[in-house]
């Protein structure tokens, strides 16, 4: 289920020892699992913090408790601690934490939405922008609506044609074209102003 390196176990033991004996273990849970914002949370826990449905993993000198609702997202996770001259770094690799891509027999909408959520919108977020699915026509034409810093942005056309459309058409062969359905005149805070 979860693999914890010897160096990570040693690191956790040192942390638990520094707590003065109140903490009985480390609890790991998935925050925002199944979404692009998913992350793992580690925290000290004592008996009062446990709900009783956690999965437990006995380690050298402590117990790692896995939040029951997080188990499917943390399955296959690897926890490691790298010693460095300036201290150390804890690394958690959880390949299922953001969910799994829809299978080939999933609906076209599900597959498009997955790519928007998992790949395209995280990139647009760096410009405080996003894109959402507006409609899908029977001929395979997809209409998207830009929001945030992308609504009214002077580079929205380039973003659509050179980035979003190329990605979607390459990954979802049923799509034939991707078009913009945004009213860019109503953009309130574009990343790059449009030229008049």
Res. 142: pLDDT tops 90? yes
Note the pTM of the prediction, 2 decimals: 0.60
Q: In this structure, what are the phi and psi dihedrals at residue 23, rounded to the nearest 5 degrees?
A: -80, 135
Residue 196's pLDDT band (cuts 50, 70, 90): low
Strands 177-180, 141-148: pairing is parallel
| Residue among 116, 112, 114 nearest 131 (CA) | 116
Q: In this structure, what are the phi and psi dihedrals at residue 181, rounded to the nearest 5 degrees?
A: -110, 20
pLDDT, greater one: 43 or 47: 43
pLDDT, greater one: 34 or 133: 133
Res. 112: pLDDT tops 90? yes
* Sequence-separated (6 or more) residues with CB below 8 Å from residue 88: 11, 81, 82
* pLDDT tens-digit series, residues 90-103: 999 998 898 877 88
| Residue among 29, 62, 70, 68 nearest 46 (CA) | 62
Domains and CATH numbers, the chain: 3-93 (2.60.300.12), 108-186 (3.30.300.130)
* Sequence-separated (6 or more) residues with CB below 8 Å from residue 12: 4, 26, 59, 62, 64
Res. 189: pLDDT tops 90? no
Instruction: Give the residue-averaged pLDDT of 131-147.
Output: 95
Res. 184: pLDDT tops 80? yes
Strands 62-66, 55-59: pairing is antiparallel
Q: Give residue 57's pLDDT.
A: 94
Q: Tokens at residue 105, please?
A: 């027999």
3-state secondary structure of 60: coil
Res. 21: pLDDT tops 80? no
For all residues of the chain together, what is the average pLDDT?
A: 90
What pairs with residue 3 in β-bridges? Answer: 78
* pLDDT tens-digit series, residues 53-109: 999 999 988 999 999 999 999 999 999 999 888 888 999 999 889 887 788 788 999
* Sequence-separated (6 or more) residues with CB below 8 Å from residue 95: 76, 77
């Amino acid at each position: 289920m979860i693999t914890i390196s010897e160096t990570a176990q040693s690191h956790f033991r040192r942390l638990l020892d520094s707590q003065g004996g109140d903490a009985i273990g480390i609890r790991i849970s998935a925050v925002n699992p199944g979404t692009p914002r998913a992350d793992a949370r580690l925290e000290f826990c004592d008996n009062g913090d446990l709900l009783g449905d956690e999965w437990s993993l006995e380690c050298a000198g402590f117990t790692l408790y896995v939040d029951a609702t997080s188990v499917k997202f943390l399955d296959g996770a690897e926890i490691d601690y790298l010693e460095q001259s300036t201290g150390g770094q804890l690394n958690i690799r959880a390949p299922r934490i953001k969910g799994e891509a829809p299978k080939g027999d999933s609906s076209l909408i599900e597959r498009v939405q997955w790519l928007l959520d998992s790949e395209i919108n995280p990139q647009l977020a760096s410009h405080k922008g996003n894109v959402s699915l507006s409609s899908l026509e029977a001929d395979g034409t997809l209409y998207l609506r830009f929001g945030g810093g992308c609504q009214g942005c002077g580079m929205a056309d380039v973003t659509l044609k050179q980035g979003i459309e190329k990605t979607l058409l390459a990954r979802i062969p049923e799509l034939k074209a991707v078009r913009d359905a945004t009213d860019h005149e109503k953009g309130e805070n574009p990343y790059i102003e449009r030229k008049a």
